[in-house]
Amino acid sequence: MSLFQPIPNPGSAADTLRPLADRMRPRTLDEYLGQEHLIGPGKPLRTQIERDDMGSLIFWGPPGTGKTTLAKIIAKMTKAEFIEFSAVLAGIKEIKQVMADAERARQYGTRTIVFIDEIHRFNKAQQDAFLPHVEKGNIRLIGATTENPSFEINSALLSRCRVYVLQPLREDQIVLLLKRALADEERGLGALHLTASDDALKKIASYTSGDARSAYNVMEVAAGLAKPPLLAKDARNGAPAPANDQSHEITDDIVRDALQKRILLYDKSGEEHYNLISALHKSVRNSDPDAALYWLARMLEAGEDPLYIARRVARMAVEDIGLADPNALALCMAARDAVDFIGMPEGNLALAQAVVYLSVAPKSNALYTAYGSVQQDVEQTAADPVPLHLRNAPTSLMKGLGYGRGYQYAHEVEGKVADMECLPDNLRGRVYYQPTNEGVEKRIRERLEEIKRRRKSEGATGKGS
């Protein structure tokens, strides 16, 4: 009697209890679908695999694009031992033990591929534990990550690995995978004798955002809804369907029930978070309200914090519109207050109103550019003292030292503009803010030109001195 049951062989009755996505996992490169830019005929990764001259690899891509599957195929084709780590469960102790075993195996001519799922979850110490063994060639490391390796993986380890980017699967590829699952009687749903229209399969594909695993999961739920419960259970346990059983269709309504809610690829703290807010900002800057609304909805429907979006939208108002439309910032702050006051989902419309307003507003980055120039001067020039004529002189001592001497009170000067330098001497005459001809800034530019003329006139006549 053993406490540990043997792992069932593929194709057995027990094997059908595994999730459909795992059962339908491709076993060869010919079965593998997608990523033609990497494993198509003559492509670099396929060539390396076939020649068995690949080193350590990092697969970077969204969920459900075949990172784990590709690692297992490589291990099978190169006849290497395959050890799979989960970055969520493994610690330094487990890593060191496996590395020691791999080093001994290499002495006997056995190669080891160590696959790390979610390698970005390993901390620095855990990642460093692999370094000497990768360098010595004791292991071939294959890491899978949904996060940008440049930010999440130690530079020392990253420099020893080739990074390959996997793309989301196309809708037609997802549809083909689902058709395979419906037809496959050994590993798929073929024993259930189900049918599905192309439109139903396309709906699953479009709603799962290029994620094959999610598509399989939806299909498995839909299959359970399409068949009588008892018959579906019998088929999952390996019992053949009765000969007189008619096929059942996975209809659009069944697909809708199986989906419940669209699966949106999003990570509030990962790269996709920054990609989407960048797309929103650049759509607003480019005066494209339709695109701005789309990217806003992508973030909100995926669960982004609406107050985070409100903060970024306010930033857009001051960076890309500024004084070309002073009302833009006020509207954004009102949208922020609305989100805070009425909550979600009603607050969505307040943010939508703000991004559309910003999109169609006149654009100017003059204020943004001006402040950037000021920052540079503050950092790179000497911090000259405030000119004496701009200082207050509340005491007789300060008056005796010249504080306030030469100050010209603008309200006593014709036109309210005195010929008086207000910058420190080392920055005399510097111009930072240069308004555009867009929106309100056109009037501001005209006003500044008038101020300049009055200042010159005041200096020429010596008035107010």
* pLDDT tens sequence across 197-217: 999 999 898 888 788 998 998
| Cα–Cα distance measured from residue 207 to residue 260, given in angstroms and rounded to the nearest whole number | 10
Distance CA 261, CA 175 (A): 19
User: What is the tens place of the pLDDT at every residue in 99-150?
Assistant: 777 777 776 767 788 888 888 888 787 788 788 888 877 788 898 988 888 8
Q: Two tokens at 156?
A: 């020392």
Q: Which helix (H) or strand (E) holds 116?
A: strand 112-117
Overall average pLDDT of the 320-342 stretch: 92
**How many angstroms separate the Cα of 188 from the Cα of each of 87, 177, 221?**
30, 10, 13
Position 264 pLDDT exceeds 60: no
Q: Are strands 161-165 and 56-60 parallel, antiparallel or unpaired?
A: parallel
Taking 60 as the threshold, does the pLDDT of residue 261 lie above it? no
Cα–Cα dist 366/371, whole Å: 9
Q: Residue 303: which pLDDT band, with cuts at 50, 70 and 90? A: confident
Give the span between the Cα atoms of 191 and 187, in whole angstroms.
Answer: 9
**What is the structure's pLDDT at 318?**
94
Averaged pLDDT of the chain: 82
Looking at residue 150, what is its pLDDT?
A: 84
- At 100, phi and psi to the nearest 5? -65, -40
User: Could you tell me where the DSSP H helices lie in 260-305?
Assistant: 271-285, 289-301
Whether 191 has a pLDDT exceeding 50, the answer reads: yes
Cα–Cα distances in angstroms (integers) from residue 104 to residues 52, 110, 126, 206, 465, in the given order: 21, 9, 21, 48, 91
pLDDT digit string (tens) for 344-394? 888 899 999 999 999 999 999 999 999 889 988 888 887 888 888 888 888
Q: What is the pLDDT of residues 413-458, one digit of tens each?
A: 777 888 888 888 888 888 888 888 888 888 888 888 888 888 877 6
State the pLDDT at residue 294.
Answer: 92
State pTM to two decimals: 0.58
Classify each residue of 13-41 as buried b or exposed e, where b means 16 or more C-beta atoms within 10 Å of its C-beta.
eebbeeebbebbbbeebeebbbbeebbee
| Four-residue CA torsion sign, 209, 213, 215, 221 | negative
Structure-model confidence comparison of residues 228 and 285, the more confident one: 285
